[in-house]
Structure 1
């Protein structure tokens, strides 16, 4: 029993209504016309309220109302060829607008286009303007062509489904890569040595805000031109060696961003493909904070070992004097007390100054500034 709701649902999954004619289907319909020796042949798709013609038609139409369609009567018998020898003598069609007017159809034979689920999408049909009979061999030929047509439509659907999944995966991958810190890239080196980015995540916009994204994809050299003069030679040599020897690439270098140089790190792995070109898969990250943090630690180490060491050494020397056995008079004691006070003030001032400096550095690190 025909379940029209399920049939229409499956029809939509084929994404075929209102699509352009396709040469493979045009040829299938033409073969049917030649085999049956009739002037017209169609591949029809039956929607909810209209019939769509999927092939180029000499009738000069692309669709009809479903209620006027001959093919809709084939929906209920997917295994049989619907044959109308003379439409003027068939109660179903004698008053049809395509019979009493227009092209005046008389003969019709349509083989259902049956899906693997048993639903009929439409027909492969042949039409004549005069009554005629059709042989069993011709019926069989129409059924074979209808099956071949469905094979094509099923393969077409499979490709569309696969493309949809690929697009979904690409979209999901894009969302993932766009949310990864830094930028992700795929760099291609052709056999002639020309470079181009096959893929760039949106993070590259943040890493290179002053470079046109589309231009960067076509010309990686735009990004290279922003590398610090002291680092460019090392960058180019390491990149060349990686691509030539198919070895991992890893380098820290400086890049000009908004008028100031910032530290970046690039990590990538190359892969040679069948056509001889090389693909480099990698990522780039801004490590300026890390470098600044390292510099801050070095400064702290220097300050502790040099700046703070002076007053501490003075206090240790005074302590040594106080540990001597000799008697200290009041005048000397006052002198020592004054010295301790002076050293303490100096030490306190150094501590305050360092704290102020480190607070400023920490604030800059948190803000991601140089």
Structure 2
């Protein structure tokens, strides 16, 4: 047997130095009853000791491996290892645990065998008088050791699944923390108490006055950054979503120190809990750049409609004059052409200036949006 492989698999069970577990304690109780012994143990053998996971009739939690009877189960075979009278056994007669009137005389250990074939330790019974086991007792001891191993395998699987879930949760948290928005789970109880069950690190990017730790302690702090004029509307929309179980979808202004209006958009899907409260799963985004972009487009449309109204009216007037003229001589045609060229030149100049102006304006807006997280609280 490869000892390094055996030890590696033993450590993978994460069982050493753990607290007693009822399921295993009951198996050693049954073993003592079946074999009529005062002592029974579930032992695990590591590189320097034998540790007792479950024990009946013994106070010691571990013994040195060199003095352990159970090490011979690991080293011997996959059958039950039996010592009927240790006091006359050449291997054990000088063992420190064999000496004295209350020393070990009888030992029988059924191996704890993993699916890979490694032996982790034993389920054993011990007595202070010589003893023999019947075939039925031996078979029962093997069945109990298999049951103990089934439990350890199930326990290991649960631990692995828990580790995988924790790893997945850690990866998900890293992803959410890098998201360019706030991802949250907000809970409002039936009696009206608010709490954040989850908040990613995007909070600190959203507004300098927001901190995840302080928000979890006092969710009402979220309302402190909302513009005074918009706060009643935000609270009203929250109440409506709570009462009607409708999506909470709202855009609102937030306070800033530089007097430039900043906008946030909150979207959350509600779910009623078993106690009658509501849980929202949602996001909060800074949409200031979107608002600025829409305002820029509105301004462009206004500028175009305002500035182009005059030249377009002129062109339409010339077109009507030309259409009404029954006969246009060369001089009149030349005069009309001059007007058209003049108006066309004005339109060309205007469109070039418009293109340059809004290109610069968009660069300024982009620069402002990069600095948005630096904004602070404004004076009321």
Q: Name stretches of at least 5 consecutive residues in structure 2 with no aligned partner.
A: 323-327, 329-341, 373-380
2:29 touches 2:56 (CA, 8 Å); kept in 1?
Answer: no
> How big is the shift at 1:255?
2.2
1:46 touches 1:122 (CA, 8 Å); kept in 2?
Answer: yes
Partner of 1:328: none
Matches within 5 A, 1:223-262: 223-256=222-255, 261-262=261-262
> How big is the shift at 1:119?
2.5
Partner of 2:267: 267
Distance in 1 (CA, whole Å) between partners of 2:136 and 2:243 is 65
Partner of 2:364: 363
| Matched positions, count | 356
Change (3 A) 1:286 1:95: same
> How big is the shift at 1:45?
0.7
Distance in 2 (CA, whole Å) between partners of 1:354 and 1:224 is 40
Deviation string 1:22-57 (CA, Å, 9 cap, x unpaired) is: 333233323333443333222111123332221357
> How big is the shift at 1:166?
0.7
Partner of 1:188: 187
> How big is the shift at 1:7?
2.6
> How big is the shift at 1:212?
3.4
Q: TM-score by structure 1 length?
A: 0.79
Distance in 1 (CA, whole Å) between partners of 2:7 and 2:55 is 24
Change (3 A) 1:227 1:138: same
Matches within 5 A, 1:208-227: 208-227=207-226
2:203 touches 2:210 (CA, 8 Å); kept in 1?
Answer: no
Distance in 2 (CA, whole Å) between partners of 1:258 and 1:38 is 81
Partner of 1:289: 289
> How big is the shift at 1:157?
1.1
Deviation string 1:66-122 (CA, Å, 9 cap, x unpaired) is: 2322112223433x3222111122222222232247973221111222223333211
Distance in 1 (CA, whole Å) between partners of 2:175 and 2:185 is 15
Deviation string 1:206-244 (CA, Å, 9 cap, x unpaired) is: 224323312312432221232222222222222222233
Q: Which segment drifts farther, 142-151 or 269-278?
A: 269-278
Change (3 A) 1:145 1:295: same
1:293 touches 1:365 (CA, 8 Å); kept in 2?
Answer: no
Matches within 5 A, 1:163-202: 163-202=162-201
Partner of 1:334: none
Partner of 2:278: 278
Partner of 2:289, secondary structure, is: helix
> How big is the shift at 1:269?
1.5
Q: Confirm whether residue 54 of structure 1 aligns to residue 68 of structure 2.
A: no
Change (3 A) 1:28 1:281: same
Partner of 1:283, secondary structure, is: strand
Partner of 1:333: none
Which of structures 1 and 2 has the larger relative contact order (alpha carbons within 8 angstroms, sep 6+)? 2
Distance in 1 (CA, whole Å) between partners of 2:150 and 2:132 is 28
Distance in 2 (CA, whole Å) between partners of 1:102 and 1:262 is 86
Q: TM-score by structure 2 length?
A: 0.78
Q: Name stretches of at least 5 consecutive residues in structure 1 with no aligned partner.
A: 326-339
Distance in 2 (CA, whole Å) between partners of 1:219 and 1:282 is 18
> How big is the shift at 1:140?
3.0
